[in-house]
């Protein structure tokens, strides 16, 4: 009898043991399922840091994709809860981004990183409302104005106004012309893909960048040295390797590089410097604001016989041309 009781109790004990084992196994499976997303996220981050994500991420101009991916991984670790990094995929930028692995990325946490595409829709609106609705019809000029990131050429405190229909102040008491005037002067230059252009008055470098989008080479002179240095650095960062900037008095032009298919002057003398006329190629055009209190944007076109035709385009307001221009005309200078 005693033996039967012990024998009949054994299956019950075995059933309890199997139930406990099953419960423990289910608990381990549930724990593994809860931990699995964290492990997967860690694996994704590891792949991203090794450049395996299939996307190219770029920080400041000239940065490489591997370093940017490492910055992305660090950003995730700091936030703790974000599944996606703040970096955005790079967008192709043609001439603008040639020195930045075909793109300039955006990283809102770092204000030093250019954010070109943030204003893309505003640039399109500027082209449609301020240029196309007026008399800017050259398709290459319109494309250049839509492409060049004007907000990167103005101080941070006026970036929100970069695409407004107005001139804006820049450093050292100078200004950046309103978009319409930039487009108008570029259109009147009548440039081709191989044209060589001289600009007098680099300023921020914006006009030079627009010119570089529609011609072969640009030579620009700025009399204020800090502006010249800043403009050259900015243009280099944006990939405009075919723009050369030097500091000097633009009154005498750039005779070593003459003749030019077009010369654009972005400051107003009260007379036309004769050296600029002489440095025009046959068929070339000089676009210059002339006057003191009342200025006229004027176009001079050189004919094959050396004579010059003159056209007055519009009333404008530019900063005065300084340096030699302030001394007044010489007997050889133009009207």
Q: Would you name the residues annotated as active-site residues? A: 177
pTM score: 0.66
Distance CA 230, CA 45 (A): 38
On the CB side of 25, CA atoms within 13 Å amount to 6
Domain ranges of the chain: 166-327
Distance CA 86, CA 260 (A): 46
For residue 162, give Cα distances in angstroms to 141, 189, 228, 286, 299: 18, 24, 20, 27, 27
Q: Which tokens hold the place of 176?
A: 């950046």
Distance CA 98, CA 87 (A): 20
Question: Tens-digit pLDDT profile for the chain (335 aa)?
Answer: 444 444 444 555 555 566 677 777 777 766 666 665 444 444 344 433 333 333 332 333 333 334 434 444 444 344 343 333 332 332 333 333 333 323 233 333 334 445 546 899 999 999 999 999 999 999 999 999 999 999 999 999 999 999 999 999 999 999 999 999 999 999 999 999 999 999 999 999 999 999 999 999 999 999 999 999 999 999 999 999 999 999 999 999 999 999 999 999 999 999 999 999 999 999 999 999 999 888 999 999 999 999 999 999 999 999 999 999 999 887 766 55
Q: 166-327 belongs to which CATH class?
A: alpha beta
Q: Within 10 Å of residue 42's Cβ, how many Cβ atoms? A: 10
Q: Residue 264 in contact with residue 198, Cβ under 8 Å? A: yes
Distance CA 213, CA 220 (A): 15
């Amino acid at each position: 009898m005693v033996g039967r009781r012990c024998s009949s109790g054994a299956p019950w004990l075995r059933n309890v043991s199997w139930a406990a084992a099953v419960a423990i196994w289910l608990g381990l499976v549930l724990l593994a399922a809860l931990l699995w997303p964290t492990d997967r996220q860690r694996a994704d981050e590891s792949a991203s840091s090794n450049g395996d994500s299939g996307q190219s991420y770029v920080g400041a101009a000239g940065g490489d994709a591997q370093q940017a991916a490492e910055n992305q991984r660090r950003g995730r670790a700091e936030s703790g809860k974000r599944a996606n990094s703040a970096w955005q995929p790079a967008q192709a930028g043609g001439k603008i981004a040639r020195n930045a692995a075909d793109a300039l990325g955006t990283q809102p946490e770092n204000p030093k990183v250019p954010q070109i595409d943030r204003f893309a829709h505003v640039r399109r609106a500027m082209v449609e409302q301020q240029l196309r609705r007026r008399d800017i019809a050259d398709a290459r000029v319109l494309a250049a104005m839509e492409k060049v990131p004007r907000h990167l050429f103005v101080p941070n405190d006026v970036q929100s106004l970069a695409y407004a229909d107005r001139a804006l102040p820049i450093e050292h008491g100078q200004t950046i012309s309103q978009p319409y005037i930039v487009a108008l002067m570029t259109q009147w230059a009548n440039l081709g893909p191989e044209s060589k252009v001289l600009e007098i008055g680099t300023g921020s470098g914006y006009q030079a960048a627009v010119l570089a989008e529609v011609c072969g080479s640009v030579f620009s002179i700025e009399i204020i040295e800090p502006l010249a240095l800043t403009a050259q650095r900015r243009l280099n960062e944006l990939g405009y390797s075919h723009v050369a900037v030097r500091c000097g008095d633009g009154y005498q032009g750039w005779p070593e590089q003459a003749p030019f298919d077009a010369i654009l002057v972005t400051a107003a003398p009260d007379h036309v410097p004769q050296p600029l006329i002489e440095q025009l190629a046959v068929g070339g055009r000089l676009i210059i604001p002339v006057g003191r209190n009342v200025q006229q944007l004027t176009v001079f076109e050189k004919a094959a016989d050396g004579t010059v035709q003159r056209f007055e385009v519009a009333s404008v307001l530019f900063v005065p041309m300084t340096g030699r221009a302030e001394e007044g005309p010489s007997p050889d200078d133009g009207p």
